[in-house]
Structure 1
Amino acid sequence: MEQLLTLDSLFTLFMLVLLQAVLGFDNLLYISLESQKAPKDKQSYVRKMGVGLAIILRIVLLFVLLELIKYFQNPFLSMHSNTFIEFDLNGHSLIVLAGGIFIIYTAVKEIWHMMLMKEHAKIEGKESKKSVKSVIIWIVIMNLVFSFDSILSAMALTSDMDATPQLVLMTIAIILGGLLMIVMADKVSNFLQKNKMYEVLGLFILFIVGIMLLTEGGHLAHIELFGNKITPMSKTTFYFVIITLVIIDIVQGRYQKNLLAKKEAQDRKE
């Protein structure tokens, strides 16, 4: 207990919570968009329940990873001496790759629905009837997919500590990070619902999240395509792309408003 109350341990806890918040942004965006498929009066409940269950399962996952980490890292399927593709697939890479593929599919499907404006209302109506249980299940599943990187990063950050203090600090960080996610998920979701124009931006960011997961999974699996290694997209690059997309969206929005104002002024003169 004394080791947990030292200045060094408290600083490590702060860094762990900060890590959970930074690495949880893409997860937060998915939760906000996925929860909109539930009935409107149940969306806040879905977000809270989904993240709440995910917190419990994250702690379970933490225990599992601490005990079975070597099994997630050891390759179970390999292919070499192939001019097209080479890889060493392990459990960690498979989960990350599957998560990336699913998120890209989700983003592309929603973007396609938005492009078909006449069908969008019908699709929205059908999706709003999606059961609360199924939405919560998907939120929990994807939360666990996103958990791998944050938990493994947290394990690296506390690797110099004894097993018990390490486990306690990481558990506290998961709980605090989850509570922060519950609060922020409502705010992000409310913002997207009030500003529908930013929902398209959110879906494209989600698409980039999927690409980031695919590159991370490809790197973990040591995939080489035509002799070229797949390198993971860094968080710095990810946030730079997001900032660029937001700036483009703001500039384009203001430009369109100026064009509409100019057109209205010309119509009045005529």
Structure 2
Amino acid sequence: MDAIVTLLSDPTAWAALATLVVLEVVLGIDNLVFISILSNRLPEGQRQRARRLGISLALGLRLGLLLTVSWLVGLTTPVFDLGFTIDGDHGPALETAFSWRDLILIAGGLFLIWKATTEIHHSVDPTPSHAMLDKKGAAALSFGSAIVQILLLDLVFSIDSILTAVGMTDHVPIMVIAVITAVAVMLLAADPLANFIANNPTVVMLALGFLLMIGLVLIADGFGVHVPKGYIYTAMAFSALVEGLNMAARRARRRAGGHAGE
């Protein structure tokens, strides 16, 4: 306890904590969007429980990984090498030496692309033929299946999150505080975000597009092509701004139509 008090009395530790909290919250957006979309496929009474359980699992995984930081860092050591490098004529070269982290990111990216594509298909196809339908005609999802899928993506996002934290500070208490704070923000934002997505069908498609992009970025990262996170979140913010303008325009047209009919 005394060590934590001494650490937090250091201004550089506070600066590292503030930076890491912001970064962890931003990194948690991907995880939260996925949980929101998946939980909205469940019956109304199970959605909040699924979101809270999914976020609790994310916290547990992150804290568990922090307790095995030395093992986690070892995941970046190559486990096999194909023995050649694919040079990019107009971009970065593809690495063919893969670590466990690379393999986990690639698998997670493929899963995310598959899942986003499946959800887009369910949204576009009005009559799914190989799935049970709920009362609203949407493809039904079991609670257990939703939790398993959330857990898989929690694992991928948790490894990426904790490796980012390890790269920013050597102090485990700072990492723990940052992770708990970020997950608390996710817990507070989960229900409003999920309700907003559920009430705005076009936002669902935008969020699924984000998941597709994130899946591609995870795969690229696994192959050694590191896309700056700033580019990704700038694109997401710009797309969200455009969608916000579209929503405002639709509301204005509805109001104008209502006044015209009076």
TM-score (norm: length of structure 2): 0.82
1:101 to 106, 110, 135: 110
Partner SS state of residue 41, structure 2: coil
Partner of residue 146 from structure 1, selected from 153, 157, 161 = 157
Residues 17 and 177 in structure 1, CA contact (< 8 A), matched pair in contact too: yes
Judging changes above 3 Å, is the alpha-carbon distance between structure 1 residues 154 and 260 closer, same or farther for their aligned structure 2 residues?
A: closer
Alpha-carbon distance in 2 for matches of 1:38, 1:233:
34
> Does 2:8 match 1:39?
no
Aligned residue in 1 for 2:215: 210
Q: Determine whether 1:132 maps to 2:136.
A: no
CA apart distance, 1:5 = 2.9
Structure 1 residue 59 corresponds to structure 2 residue 63: yes
Label 1:39 to 1:167 Cα distance change in 2 as closer, same or farther (>3 A): same
| 1:62 to partner: Cα distance | 1.5
Corresponding residue for residue 119 of structure 1: 128
How far 1:109 moved relative to its partner? 1.2
Cα deviation, residue 70, structure 1? 4.8
CA shift in 2, pair 1:76/1:256, >3 Å: same
Native 8 Å contact 1:51 1:140 kept in 2? no
Residue identity matched to 2:75: F
Equivalent pair of 2:58/2:154 in contact (CA under 8 Å): yes
Q: Which aligned pairs between 1:246-257 and structure 2 lie closer than 5 A?
A: 246-250=240-244
8 Å Cα contact 2:95-2:223 kept in structure 1? no
Distance 1:239 1:188 in 2: 17
| Aligned Cα root-mean-square deviation (Å) | 3.0
Q: How does 1:158-169 map to 2 (within 5 A)?
A: 158-159=169-170, 166-169=171-174
Cα distance in 1 for partners of 2:8, 2:254 equals 60
Please list the CA deviations of residues 81-137 of structure 1 after superposition, one character each: whole Å capped at 9, or x if unmatched.
487986011100011111111111111111122221233996652876533233223
Number of the residue aligned with 2:177: 172
Q: Would you say 1:239 and 2:242 are equivalent positions?
A: no
Q: CA deviation at 1:258?
A: 8.8
Mapped contact 2:112–2:211 kept (Cα < 8 A): yes
Unaligned runs of 5+ in 2: 88-93
Q: In structure 2, the residue corresponding to 1:117 is in which secondary structure?
A: coil
Matched to 1:92, the amino acid is R
Q: Tell me how far apart the structure 1 counterparts of residues 211 and 147 of structure 2 sit (CA, whole Å).
A: 18
Give the Cα separation in 2 of the matches to 1:124 and 1:116.
Answer: 13
2:190 corresponds in structure 1 to 185
- Which amino acid in the other structure matches residue 100 of structure 1? G
Gapped runs of 5+ residues in structure 1?
160-165, 220-230
Look up the match of 1:228.
none
Matched, 1:200 2:205: yes
Give the structure 2 partner of residue 79 of structure 1.
Answer: 82
- For 2:180 and 2:86, the matched residues in 1 are separated by 46
Residue deviations 1:191-220 (CA, integer Å, cap 9, x gap): 01111221111111111111111111111x
The 1:261/1:44 distance shift into structure 2, 3 A limit, reads closer
Report the Cα offset of residue 156 of structure 1: 1.8
Residues 61 and 154 in structure 2, CA contact (< 8 A), matched pair in contact too: no
**Is this contact kept in 2: 1:50–1:137, CA < 8 A?**
no
Q: 2:91 corresponds to which residue?
A: none
